[in-house]
């Protein structure tokens, strides 16, 4: 049976380059895995006043993550880190399902996670570095290598047109192949 792979795009922007990157990875994976995208627009901000019982959107988020054999996060870099809404998601995923139950592992614990990102000169290196630190703290099973970091072309910034070089395409495809094998 095809493995279930959950893609999380760390950008809410309609024409997100990171979403485009995810779509390219999905196309390359083809029928080797079942790819779905996490829709997290309805996940509220973490607020311990509403933590238990978990809001419906958070229950759905946890079920979706639990059902995935692997997760691939495609995220921009915001101010040398990852976007705040991604942190919010992971904060929800880091918490016990029931108040005071720290014995049951969280759904992110042991989950296979791969990282990629498209951005400026640093190729989202800082974003992925800090996200790696967080995911390690949450005891996710992180695919440290390879990761695809894309330095966006000039036309992406000036005309909104992302064009990958052959090398960048190859890096993404190699990561996709490794990821499918690994999950
Ligand atoms: C709040 C904010 C902070 C940003 N900081 C960085 C940064 O530190 N490094 C970087 O490479 N790009 C930075 N950018 C530019 C993003 O890389 C760029 O907007 C990119 O297109 C976002 O990804 P997306 O197309 O998937 O939405 C920042 C953008 C925003 C909105």
Total structural domains within the chain:
1
CATH code of the domain in which 110 resides:
3.40.50.360
Residue 109, domain extent: 3-182
**pLDDT score, position 1:** 76
Q: Hey, whose CA ends up nearest to atom 4 of ligand 1?
A: 78
Pocket test for ligand 1, best of 15, 77, 86 (most atoms within 8 A of CB): 77
78 lines ligand 1 (CB under 6 A): yes
**pLDDT score, position 101:** 92
Q: Hey, whose CA ends up nearest to atom 31 of ligand 1?
A: 78
14 lines ligand 1 (CB under 6 A): no
Q: How far is the CA of 18 from the centre of ligand 1 (A)?
A: 10
Q: Hey, whose CA ends up nearest to atom 3 of ligand 1?
A: 78
Mean pLDDT, rounded, of the chain: 97
Give the ligand 1 atom nearest the CA of 80: 8
**pLDDT score, position 159:** 97
Residue 125 CA: distances (Å) to CA of 7, 21, 51, 75, 102: 19, 16, 32, 11, 32
Residue ranges of the chain whose pLDDT lies below 70: none
Express each pLDDT in 18-45 by its tens digit. 999 999 999 999 999 999 999 999 999 9
17 lines ligand 1 (CB under 6 A): yes
**pLDDT score, position 97:** 85
Q: What is the pTM of this model?
A: 0.98
| CB-based burial label for 31 (10 Å; 0-12, 13-18, 19+) | exposed
């Amino acid at each position: 049976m095809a493995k279930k792979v959950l893609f999380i795009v760390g950008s809410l922007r309609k024409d997100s380059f990171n979403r485009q990157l995810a779509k390219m990875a999905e196309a390359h994976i083809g029928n080797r895995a079942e790819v779905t995208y996490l829709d997290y627009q309805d996940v509220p901000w973490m607020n311990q006043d509403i933590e238990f019982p978990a809001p419906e959107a958070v229950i759905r988020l946890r079920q979706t993550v639990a059902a995935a054999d692997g997760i691939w996060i495609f995220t921009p870099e915001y101010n040398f880190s990852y976007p705040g809404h991604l942190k919010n998601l992971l904060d929800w995923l880091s918490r016990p399902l029931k108040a005071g139950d720290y014995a049951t592992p969280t759904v992110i614990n042991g989950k296979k996670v791969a990282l990629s990102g498209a951005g400026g000169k640093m190729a989202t290196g800082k974003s992925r570095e800090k996200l790696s630190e967080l995911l390690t703290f949450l005891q996710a099973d992180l695919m440290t290598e390879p990761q695809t970091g894309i330095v966006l072309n000039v036309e992406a910034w000036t005309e909104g047109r992302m064009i990958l070089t052959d090398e960048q395409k190859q890096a993404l495809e190699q990561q996709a192949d490794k990821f499918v094998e690994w999950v």
